Homo-oligomer: A and B are copies of this chain.
């Protein structure tokens, strides 16, 4: 019983921790928004240009951080700094959820 409780508590910690720092996004809304990203990153998340990274299946937390870093200017890129400025917090969450989800197909 004690072991089961410990396992449940551990599972709770592990499942909660990775998502603690961002809100869950809406995959369908992310797909709609991703039309603006598709020319370089592909609507399937597979890069169309060697300098643009593949995004399919990328970890959601990393995608959120990358977009937010471009929004704040912490990270700079000619194209992405411009594109990210048009995004809301919800857009970022939705796009991250969408591109992350493509790795599960």
Contact = CB atoms under 8 A, between A and B. Distances in A.
Contact of A50 (B57, B61, B74, B76): B61
Contact of A59 (B52, B60, B74, B76): B52
B65 A51 contact: yes
Contacts of A52: 59, 62
A60 B54 CA distance: 10
Q: How many copies does the complex hold?
A: 2
A47 interface: yes
A interface, by DSSP: helix, strand, loop or mixed?
Answer: loop
Interface of A: 18-19, 47, 50-54, 57-62, 65, 74-76, 103
Contacts of A18: 50
A105 to B, nearest CB: 15
A53 B62 contact: yes
A50 B19 CA distance: 8
Most B-side CB within 10 Å, residue of A19, A53, A74, A76: A53
Most B-side CB within 10 Å, residue of A59, A60, A103: A59
